[in-house]
A and B are shown apart, each in its own frame.
Chain A
Amino acid sequence: MVTDSDIDMEHLLFTKDSLIPTIAAIALTMILLSVTTIDFLPELNDTQVFTSETREWNVEFDTSTVDDDDDGHTFSHTEIWADDETKVVDFDFRELVIPEGKRIGYISVSIYPEEDTGISLNDPDWGCDSIGVSVMSDNSTLPAQWQDDRNILLGNDADCEVIPIFLQAYPFFYDDNSANMTAKNDYQAMIPWTEDGWGLGVFSLQIDIDVQSYGGQGVGIVDDDEEITITVDVVTFSGEVVEVE
């Protein structure tokens, strides 16, 4: 081993003093390289599987109706309409208490007329009031699938029947039970079902009534108004993802 006062080519890289720290530095490098290599192997395997495969997932939905006051519906509204009267009824869904993890899937509305039958025994529909319902999309502020084929945004009845109205709020939430997804992981499979904001806003219904006041000869019933009950069911859902084997 050379001293510090001279340098020869055979001992250019080391002296007695530098040998131990140099060996320590190289040994540390080897240790660090070994540790990081051992550490990345499982990660590498996971990444190779992740990038090469796209797995199948089944998202199972749990649906429920928002019902804050335990009456079986989200909103229940009864009001009297005069003959030929048109009224707009607004329901504000922003005030609803939606459970954590749930999102609004669709809105189902039923309009119940006061009478459930006409005045004639021979023709039960005769004498029923005429009711027209339309969802006012211009007035409604809630984000929803307004162009969806399943929507029922208009309804008419003169047969004392319940008028159904339907609005699809969440995109593609068509099946109440489950949906098949292709995704890299469970989180990505759930991404289409975790969008916030759908269905939160004001839902506006316009109802007009034409009261059938003539009760018929000898019956003597004169009807000049109609009591309407509107029930609104805001159906929410949450999903649970299961890998399809």
Chain B
Amino acid sequence: MAPVAAIVDLMLGIVTLIMISKVNNKAKGDKIAGFLIGWILVFQGMEYLFLSILEFQVGSASLFGTVDTSDTERGFLLTGLYMFQISVVVLMSSLALVFPFRILPDSWDEKAILGSVCILSISITTIHLVTDFDFLAIENILMVPAFVILISLYIRFLTSELRTENDSYRKVSIASGLILIGMFGESMTYWLSQVLSINDEFNQRIAIEFSIMPSGASWFGMMVGMSLGAIAICVLFLGEIWRSYNVGAAPFSIMVFVIFIVGFIAGIADVAVLDIVTSCYDQACQEFPSAYNIWYDFTSESLVYLYTPILFMFLLLKYDLIDTQSGNNKWLIRIIVILLLLIVSSTVLELVQSFLPIPEMISSAALAIIVAIFIGWEEKIVTQLISGAESVSHNLPFEDGRLESSSTVDPKVFNLTLSAILLYILILSMLHSGLTKGGL
């Protein structure tokens, strides 16, 4: 799924940046959020692109330490992959500072946010590079402030909605929840395993299977990500249960319930295969049953690769981060929406075909039906998506109007700075792999 994710993320990221650069009348926070989401998608796209090439060359084990880094090209790809991965975490962590609301004082304009993103991305990736990525995942600690902000906003606006019965508050709790899912989606599907504290067994298996010397910092970083995801989905689940009881279930509630149930089933599946997981240490590594791998492909992996970009697309459109009403943007949005839905549908069909003996003719027919539905309903889908689009702070009873202050964000500064980080990663990965004959 990595190649599909790379295409989707890069395409959506570039289109988002083009569209957001044209907008002038947005609130400052919304515009910065739009830029950040656009660049998150571009960096994520680059990460998946490098991953896809590595997977194509050496198989799925490229995720871990089995890549032959004495080969300059592979050393470059692996270094770049890790560095983009770290930058995505930095960008994601800064997103919560500006969306749904700008948390920082007004004087902290986009230059301060850009400056800190720039310094953090460059310094953390460089530190990881000189330490041979031994402490990879420790950067997850950066997501703790974002988690606290988003969880606080979700609970605060959910309780306010239920107490005052003001629907406007719902936008904020959904936006916070969606970013939480975007940030911790994968770890949310492991929530039960984390609560049962068996994820360290999986870390152990990975370390042994791929002969990676584990570091305490790296494992701690992983545990931070997993714990934040586990508590986030439990809070969202309880919140949505409470809201559904009082107001009724909404599509967002159903999405949360699905992820929660997926995590619950995944936890049971993880317990069931625990003997296989620990076999690497106790005995010799045994293969997981194919049903377990299929389950993982359809849940955690598809959530990360396929649904996260769609989620960001929904945020961009529903919260009017890009100008959805502009005539120039409308056709681009329609193309993007239909293209994304088609790519995701065809990937899901491919996945189904990988384990069900469906003849190609049937799957082609199914894809044709989906295409027909999307083309027929394309206008309706897009119109429905953007008709209720409004800024997250719109109609909210703010004491001061600062949150809706008009944007002074210069697209050039934003794009140039983040392009420079992207270039820095590419050049440094190239140099590192070249100078050290393969890098890591």
Considering only CB atoms, which chain A residue lies closest to B223 in the complex?
Answer: A36
The reply on A139 being an interface residue by CB < 8 A is no
Q: Is the CB of A13 within 8 A of B224?
A: no
Task: Map CB proximity to A onto B143-181 as digits: 1 under 8 Å, 0 otherwise.
Answer: 000011101110110111001101000000000000000
The reply on A88 being an interface residue by CB < 8 A is no
B231 neighbours in A (Cβ, 8 Å): 25, 28-29, 32
Q: Is the CB of A12 within 8 A of B199?
A: no
The residue from A5, A47, A52 contacting B281, defined by CB atoms under 8 A apart = A47
Band of interface residues on B: 35 or more
Contact of A29 with B214 at beta-carbon distance under 8 Å, contacts A6-B397, A8-B399 already known: no
The reply on B220 being an interface residue by CB < 8 A is yes
Q: Is the CB of A44 within 8 A of B214?
A: yes
The reply on B1 being an interface residue by CB < 8 A is no
CA distance A32 to B230 in the complex (A): 9
Q: Is the CB of A36 within 8 A of B159?
A: no
Band of interface residues on A: 35 or more
Contact of A17 with B223 at beta-carbon distance under 8 Å, contacts A40-B200, A48-B213 already known: no
Residues in B160-210 with C-beta less than 8 Å from chain A: 160, 163-164, 166, 194-195, 197, 199-201, 203-204, 207-208
Residues in A22-77 with C-beta less than 8 Å from chain B: 22, 25-26, 28-29, 32-33, 35-37, 39-41, 43-44, 46-48, 50-52
Q: Is the CB of A17 within 8 A of B197?
A: no
CA distance A28 to B151 in the complex (A): 12
The reply on A220 being an interface residue by CB < 8 A is no
Considering only CB atoms, which chain B residue lies closest to A34 in the complex?
Answer: B227
A33 neighbours in B (Cβ, 8 Å): 223-224, 227
The residue from A4, A9, A46 contacting B160, defined by CB atoms under 8 A apart = A4
B227 neighbours in A (Cβ, 8 Å): 29, 32-33, 36
CA distance A39 to B226 in the complex (A): 14
Task: Map CB proximity to A onto B387-414 as digits: 1 under 8 Å, 0 otherwise.
Answer: 0000000001111101100000000000
**Cβ contacts A to B, 8 pairs, < 8 Å:** A8-B398, A13-B103, A13-B153, A14-B156, A32-B230, A47-B204, A47-B207, A48-B213
- Interface set of B (CB-CB < 8 Å, partner A): 101, 103, 147-149, 151-153, 155-156, 158-160, 163-164, 166, 194-195, 197, 199-201, 203-204, 207-208, 211-214, 216, 219-220, 223-224, 226-228, 230-231, 234-235, 281-284, 396-400, 402-403
